[in-house]
Structure 1
């Protein structure tokens, strides 16, 4: 690589590289010379180059990919959940809950206004804490031994948990495919994502073993309704994962049980009773609405203490009004019944859409959650482009890859708010899009003939 890199000390080499990045000579994603090669070229010790690369990695300028070498950090924005901006297409990639199924908080608002909360008071409202201890106690720990923290949603909790435990360039095991917010958090934090494959039973044992062998310092896992696949950990898989993690008790294990109150599947944890560093997160966004930015975190004592230091009163504690409203909603029998009905609705609508796809020759294994993860016999990006021509805005599986090493053959569809006619129209258009891509690629009979009736 013919680059004008100079310097004799680590600081001088780092400044030279930073200037090349700022001038655009080194583009995002571009591979830097191997440490040994650059050291020989500059006539310095290889440890000097290692230190220079480390300085820039800690500053977010470079990112280490292990055996893949060191590259200029890619600052391209990560895809986010929610509606696309300024699109005339029918958006079926939102990942949003149905607003009609979110409980109306209006009747309970007047009752939550109590005395003002001042600086220096406990960050967790007493009423919420009493309710949350029972809510979070199904992971094996006794309610009175749970260390609880309240954060501004699950993504906020994951960001703070990683920040209090890791430094830039530390490796983090992420599910592959992965929740968009986790990819965003890891990229912005300067951590190195290590993909762990997901199958119908959740995070795979082989994938976790490989990630631990690469030296990951944290594991982020979704025990049920994994986004985007909808997979949930089986009892057997959870036990196998706990056995693997038993040899790594100080690796921080973060469980994001985002779909808890809506889930149609039992909860199985990969956190063993002897694991030393762990956190279980449950947010209320999927059933009380995304604007209810609140999550409860149960964790070991040391992790809880570190997390609490990042939520010191007077800085970023979660509003007690929001905490009281959450408690009021989650202890109201009518609200609880409506949440259960919503969970049944999402499951039924997704299953009905899967049956429609099967009738068009596209078999789908429906999981849990708000979305349907559809495997295709052709590249997803090309199918999404075909769907756009037919009036639909879908989200291709490439967005959900932690590292983006291969082209995805999946699309994630949010279809629970489509009526029967719209759902049938989409199923037919998706099948037509797959056939059109197959014809372009020269693939014959990419789909079975659709069933009639």
Structure 2
């Protein structure tokens, strides 16, 4: 921020100074990422006590207008929208960036709907349907202390994460996020006004060194995906989970959120980062990947204190999840035929992703399938350049920097959703990716050998 801008800030009280700065932001004189004057400099310019400027900045921070970065100063908050999952609107291109499950593999709820109506549910009744609670308790229990586990129902995993953070954190608290990161998590952290601290992810999931560094920076919550991490497809190994639990055991009151979003579809073993020493924890499993995104329902298992905080935000009078939806979800997941279909769907995603990774490898672009709905493909050139070349060939792909919190390596990645392509279309796309890499100035392994 230049000196001229400092002269435009006025006021004698904290509220007057905050209003002056807010006006500069609203007029566009201050833009996202611009640095505000230091507390000392602004106090001297305005002739006020430093504590007055500190209080003004605190008001702006609480309102989400600015963010503090410690020694990095106070910056105007970035309120630009985060890219989200789903089909691209108004595109004539073949969309391979959706992150969606295959609609043909989502179970048809028609038959189950007729059996779940039952009696009406009235104000004041339990938030969670008793029958669903009984089933979900077994589903969520793995490695948790049954005596301390409490269950809550939310409108999907994103809703659960948002409510969990809101009941435990305040604006500008630091949250450890995987890097690259799930788009919804980035959006939730930004809207909530929290400070993201990136933790690198490798083939075994969240790294121990990255988590230790984030905890040293004072994070108050950690969000970890134990398997099918989006976008990388990484899953925690038993060894990595053990090492992460050991690090977290030194910080028992940090809220650990485990988002097992792929659960029933995953082809990998589940390894938890929640150890017996952890006092604040939550495990989330939603049904959206296997029963469909419109089934906005997730089960959260958590410690009693966290569950109490969630209960205050999910009251029987206003904000509970529809019991009709809860009963429908239960009817589907307990249907043996639906269970078989979910298992076949999980095998289909794994098979299709592995087949496409093999196609890329045959064309000189090494790729490993990971777990989940997507492929995370490493490129020898920036992914944006490759995605632009793919657009010219009729494909809409997603570059890795949209998922990045600062990892330069993500700019050399494409995230692809290819599990619904026919063999002919998959061959064509693999050819086009290889051609796009070369057109962007890169060399495939085959070209190097040639």
Match of 2:42 in 1: 38
Give the TM-score, by structure 2 length. 0.96
1:37 Cα shift? 2.7
1:145 Cα shift? 4.2
Match of 2:67 in 1: 63
The verdict on how the C-alpha distance between 1:162 and 1:133 changes in structure 2, with shifts beyond 3 A counting, is same
Moved over 6 A (4+): 404-407
Deviations 1:72-93 (A, max 9, x none): 1111111110000000000000
Match of 2:405 in 1: 402
Match of 1:166 in 2: 169
SS in 2 for 1:208: helix
Match of 2:251 in 1: 248
1:447 Cα shift? 1.6
Match of 2:344 in 1: 341
Match of 1:83 in 2: 87
- 1:130-209 matches, within 5 Å, as 130-142=134-146, 145-209=148-212
Match of 2:375 in 1: 372
Match of 2:124 in 1: 120
Aligned 8 A contact 1:153 1:293 in 2: yes
Match of 2:444 in 1: 447
Unaligned runs of 5+ in 1: 439-444
Give the TM-score, by structure 1 length. 0.95
Give the Cα separation in 1 of the matches to 2:409 and 2:360: 25
Deviations 1:238-261 (A, max 9, x none): 111111111111111101000000
SS in 2 for 1:305: helix
Unaligned runs of 5+ in 2: none
Deviations 1:16-41 (A, max 9, x none): 11111111110122222233332333
SS in 2 for 1:149: strand
Aligned 8 A contact 1:359 1:450 in 2: no
Match of 2:318 in 1: 315
Give the Cα separation in 2 of the matches to 1:22 and 1:103: 48
The verdict on how the C-alpha distance between 1:29 and 1:451 changes in structure 2, with shifts beyond 3 A counting, is closer
Aligned 8 A contact 1:61 1:73 in 2: yes
- 1:360-439 matches, within 5 Å, as 360-402=363-405, 408-438=411-441
Give the Cα separation in 1 of the matches to 2:118 and 2:148: 28
- 1:216-295 matches, within 5 Å, as 216-295=219-298
Match of 1:357 in 2: 360
